[in-house]
Structures are given as structure tokens and as C-alpha cells.
Amino acid sequence: MPGRLSAETSRQLASRLAPATNREEIETSLRQLIVEIQEKIHAIDKTETEGTLSAFAGESKLPPEYAEWLIEQFGGIRFLHIKERKEEIGREEAQTLLRLKTRRGGPDRLGTIQQTVKALLGVKVDAFEAEGGERGAEMDVDEFLIEANGAGIREALRVILDLELRNPQIVLIEEPEVHLHAGLSRVLAGYLREKSESIQMFITTHSTDFIDSNSYSSYRGASGTVLNAKPSTPTKGQ
């Protein structure tokens, strides 16, 4: 999770703050820890590799600056991997939907997500505070808890909510057709085709519902060879 401290940093932080008795001591301890961490990072940056690296400028034992820049650029890309065995929708997604109800612009976004789910799956999705408040948020699908719905609805909803809530730039989806009946599989395939217009999407599948040369730019067989490619749009005069 972005922003979460490592276990080692948390231990160091706890040991530094334990003896502090006032705000000034806390701030001093935090500054010292930050300086020490920055020094360690600087030392790692300057550490030579055991072997040589082939760079544009020649052989080197230090990573070139352009490589560090590329790592930073790729590290900032919002990436989503939906595995064949998908995680169950739970309180995290319910809490995200619930927060939308109270955030600026959130109700409009929630309404869009609800309309999308309704149009695709024919069900209404919503989230509420659990009774008693101790169990956090709960998600309802057509006024039933998400757990009471069939595997197909839960699997399709997993994909849709991940794409709508996380807004990824690159997506890898394994076997999206698993547990879906034919009609629902075609609905999800159409949704993914539409989303692929704005998202770089990679899908592994055994279903012909997700293979359409008129919708995807290309698809590959198990050997990795291109089986079919969408022709480029002809220009004037072609």
C-alpha cells in the first residue's frame, strides 16, 4: 500500500519516540531518523554493482541516470493485475463506495458506477455502514449482501469495480470468463472492449467472446505469434 512504512522503519520510529517526553524531542527524533534514512539511500545510490552494466555511454558499475528516470516513470504508472482466482469483494470495496457518498464530487461518481453496473449486470450496487458500526461498511447487490450473490455476478463485479474505482493505466486480466455463463461473458467482453479504448489492456483467455479482431488491435496464440491484427485506419488516397 502506498505510503505505508516498512516494518524496520516502524520499529526504528517506535524506539526513537518512546523516550520522548515533549513535542520538541519528538520533532528532533524524527529529523534525525529522516537524515539517517536519506544517508542510507544516498549510500545505496552510490554503491557499485558486482558486475558491469552495458549503458549507452559504455560499461559502468553504476546505474545510468536515464535508467533511474525510467524506473521512476514506470513506477508512477497505475497498474492493475486481476488474477484468474479473483479476490472476493469485501469491506475494502464497500468502504470505498461508502466514502464516495460524503466526498466532494463523490455522489456523482458513485452514481456513474451504479449506472454502469446496472446497465451491464442488471443489478443495483450500494454500500452502507454495517449495523452496530463495528464491522465497517457492507456492500449490497439488489438489497442483498454481496456474499449472497452467485459466483458469476461476484466475478464480473470484481472486474468492473476494480477498473472503475482504481482508474488504472495498464491492466492485466487472467481468464475473465471464469465462472461466467455465456451471456454474462459476452457482456463483460463488451465492457472490456470499451474500456480498452482508454486503457492499455492485456487479457489471457480461452473464450472466443474476448477475441474479436474488429475490436482489439491484435491477439496472440499460445506460441506468442500474432494470429490476427486489426488493420490500421486507411488514410486518404489509400
- Is it the case that residue 33 has pLDDT exceeding 80? yes
Count of CA atoms in the C-beta half-sphere (13 A) of 220: 8
Both 39 and 147 in a single domain? no
Average pLDDT, the chain: 82
- Is it the case that residue 234 has pLDDT exceeding 60? no
Domain harbouring 196, CATH code: 3.40.50.300
pLDDT in tens, 117-172: 999 999 999 988 877 656 678 888 887 777 667 788 888 999 999 999 999 999 99
Contact between 101 and 110 (Cβ < 8 Å): yes
Both 15 and 90 in a single domain? no
Give the domain range for residue 30.
Answer: 9-44
In a domain, 4, yes or no: no
Both 18 and 92 in a single domain? no
Both 83 and 171 in a single domain? yes
- Is it the case that residue 22 has pLDDT exceeding 60? yes
In a domain, 179, yes or no: yes
Percent of the chain at pLDDT > 70 equals 84
Both 208 and 98 in a single domain? yes
pLDDT at residue 66, rounded to an integer: 84
Both 178 and 222 in a single domain? yes
**Average pLDDT for 12-21:** 88
* pTM of the entire predicted model: 0.63
Both 27 and 102 in a single domain? no
* Confidence bin at 206 (pLDDT 50/70/90): confident
Both 22 and 85 in a single domain? no
Both 89 and 38 in a single domain? no
CA distance 5 to 238: 57
Both 100 and 148 in a single domain? yes
Domain count, the chain: 2
**CA nearest to 30, candidates 45, 12, 42, 43:** 12
In a domain, 57, yes or no: no
SS3 content of the chain, % helix, strand, coil (to 5): 45, 15, 40
